[in-house]
Amino acid sequence: MKWGLVIGSRAKRQLRRLSPSERVHIDRAFELLCTNPFDPDSKLLKGSAGAFRYRTGDWRILYDLMPEHKIILITAIKRRASNTY
């Protein structure tokens, strides 16, 4: 069963700044997350109350899960750098 996807306002702003090719890459990652939000490329972030990050190329997708409703809440999309987290 697929999970629903909700994109937060901060993540929407970040998506608008991406180039079309980067956006396609991120959209593919969203599709994979909807089928399995516990993918091996996903990790629980330390020091957070259940926040995860999904690694896809140079990009990191930060998200929270609402398992009772099977919803993934995308909170941020960031390019990997030394200060990403």
Q: Give the helix/strand (H/E) hosting 13.
A: helix 9-16
Q: What confidence score (pLDDT) does residue 82 get?
A: 64
Residue ranges of the chain with pLDDT lower than 50? none
Q: CATH assignment of 4-79, given 3.40.50.150, 3.40.50.720, 3.30.2310.20, 3.40.430.10?
A: 3.30.2310.20
36-59 pLDDT per residue, tens: 998 888 999 988 778 999 998 889
Rg of the chain over Cα atoms, rounded to whole angstroms, equals 12
